[in-house]
């Protein structure tokens, strides 16, 4: 049965420092590269027919490790780039909470009711990300195993969409660096196999909304 694998990029210093990255380019750090290597090794014996990724550097670098192991080319897509967080990008969470206390509280509880100043609305992010997924499946075929390497915000939006959840639920879903969430199709619906699986890292994580 064909599967879709949603894979978050490896760790960056922004993740480590609890900073909202959004569309700021930030490379994988040493730990992030190691995580990507472990994720790729996990896929060694898992069938894959295609690899897609966000066009942002941290996602492409993560996808490169998977490409080496699977012998498949990587197709980057702008539509899979991280959500744009406007004035919040590059700012630590503690500073965001200090400067925008009500907006911070609202966004991480009811994100459909608040958009960071200059940022992208969640409905717009949902439209472009889900549209990208549908185009990928149309191109590759619904019988193919496809890996998509992208970002925490994008994966949360896609998880809500595929599970039929309101986007206000997105911050209730943990998406760790290089975690794998997988789906198959049944009777025209997406069925979840795994969400936020990172057992191959052999490490424990605490929930954090870090993007």
Strands (E), 35-174: 50-54, 74-77, 146-150
β-pairing, 189-197 vs 180-186, is antiparallel
DSSP letter at 207 equals -
Other C-beta atoms closer than 10 Å to the C-beta of 75 total 16
What average pLDDT does the chain have? 95
Q: Which two tokens stand for residue 8?
A: 């978050």
Mean pLDDT of 75-101: 97
Question: Which pLDDT does position 17 carry in this prediction?
Answer: 85
| Per-residue model confidence as pLDDT tens digits over 66-83 | 999 999 999 999 999 999
How far apart (Å, rounded) are the C-alpha atoms in residues 114 and 17? 24
DSSP letter at 82 equals P
DSSP letter at 150 equals E
| Per-residue model confidence as pLDDT tens digits over 166-184 | 999 999 999 999 999 999 9
User: Is the confidence at residue 1, as pLDDT, over 80?
Assistant: no
How far apart (Å, rounded) are the C-alpha atoms in residues 105 and 22? 18
How far apart (Å, rounded) are the C-alpha atoms in residues 60 and 192? 25
Residue at token pair 């990928």: 136
How far apart (Å, rounded) are the C-alpha atoms in residues 152 and 148? 12
Identify the CA nearest to 89 among candidates 171, 14, 169, 195.
14
User: Is the confidence at residue 137, as pLDDT, over 60?
Assistant: yes
Radius of gyration of the chain (CA): 16
Mean pLDDT of 144-160: 98
Which class in CATH covers the domain with range 4-201? Answer: alpha beta
């Amino acid at each position: 049965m064909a599967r879709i694998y949603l894979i978050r990029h490896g760790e960056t210093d922004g993740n480590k420092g609890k900073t909202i990255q959004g569309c700021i380019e930030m490379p994988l750090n040493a730990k992030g590269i190691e995580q990507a290597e472990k994720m790729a090794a996990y896929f060694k014996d898992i069938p894959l027919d295609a690899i897609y990724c966000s066009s942002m550097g941290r996602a492409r670098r993560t996808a490169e490790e998977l490409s080496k192991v699977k012998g498949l080319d990587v197709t980057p897509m702008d539509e899979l780039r991280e959500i744009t967080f406007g004035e919040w990008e590059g700012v630590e969470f503690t500073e965001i909470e200090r400067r925008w206390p009500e907006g911070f509280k609202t966004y991480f509880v009811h994100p459909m009711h608040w958009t960071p100043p200059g940022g992208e609305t969640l409905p717009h992010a949902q439209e472009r990300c889900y549209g990208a997924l549908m185009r990928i499946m149309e191109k590759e075929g619904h019988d193919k195993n496809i890996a998509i390497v992208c970002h925490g915000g994008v994966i949360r939006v896609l998880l809500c969409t595929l599970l039929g959840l309101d986007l206000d639920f997105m911050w209730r879903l943990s998406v760790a660096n290089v975690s794998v969430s997988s789906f198959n199709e049944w009777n025209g619906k997406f069925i979840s196999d795994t969400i936020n699986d990172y057992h191959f890292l052999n490490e424990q994580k605490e929930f954090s909304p870090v993007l």
